[in-house]
Chains A and B, each alone.
Chain A
Amino acid sequence: KAGVTQTPRYLIKTRGQQVTLSCSPISGHRSVSWYQQTPGQGLQFLFEYFSETQRNKGNFPGRFSGRQFSNSRSEMNVSTLELGDSALYLCASSSAGTGWRGTDTQYFGPGTRLTVL
């Protein structure tokens, strides 16, 4: 099976702009989560989507949003970019499903490195 793919791999934006990152999960996986990784804050959970619904959300401002499509692909959007948004954004997918409240392993993509100037 192909792994989690993320596009683009690298992105340079300026303050005030907005950006959209894309994630395609492993085939058959319906849960997609997003994480931000920075040297100062480490790895932090942004949100999780399952069946086109946001199921869980981390402590990030409303400028960070996401969505999931019917084919499980997900996008995250950051509006009004700030210098502090420069980070590696990682997407992960798992086969966790509705009604099954266990926890499945999350598999990560290569990430999108966003630089805000």
Chain B
Amino acid sequence: AQKVTQAQTEISVVEKEDVTLDCVYETRDTTYYLFWYKQPPSGELVFLIRRNSFDEQNEISGRYSWNFQKSTSSFNFTITASQVVDSAVYFCALTLFGNEKLTFGTGTRLTIIP
């Protein structure tokens, strides 16, 4: 069975600070996909990024960056120069190759203080 752990339940930072959200996953499969979703107060899950298990290249998209390390089974997410609009609950998720079932972590509630 797959498992995703987000140990940080809540994080609060002052606007413009950098913040990293941790995600650790467990799976015995060698082919899988990892995702990050953002859930603002409206409730809709917004897709942020997807990585497959063969691609450990880190990615930067604007103020967002992701660090995928298979050696530690981690897929961490960093927001640089945080803004109030980044306040939301962030979910890390995993799915196996050929499967649409997402296994989610428990989420990290991020609050950006103006």
B37, B44, B45, B101: the one contacting A56 at CB < 8 Å is B101
A-B pair number, CB within 8 angstroms: 63
Count of residues in B whose CB is under 8 Å from the partner chain: 25
Per DSSP, chain A at the interface is: strand
A107 to B35, CA, bound (A): 11
Inter-chain contacts of A111 with B (CB < 8 A): 43-44
Inter-chain contacts of B107 with A (CB < 8 A): 42-43
Contact (Cβ within 8 A) B44 A110: yes
Contact (Cβ within 8 A) A45 B45: no
Inter-chain contacts of A110 with B (CB < 8 A): 42-44
In the complex, given contacts A42-B104, A43-B91, A103-B95, what are 11 additional A-B residue pairs having Cβ atoms less than 8 angstroms apart? A31-B100, A42-B106, A43-B104, A45-B103, A55-B100, A94-B100, A96-B100, A101-B97, A105-B35, A106-B47, A106-B102
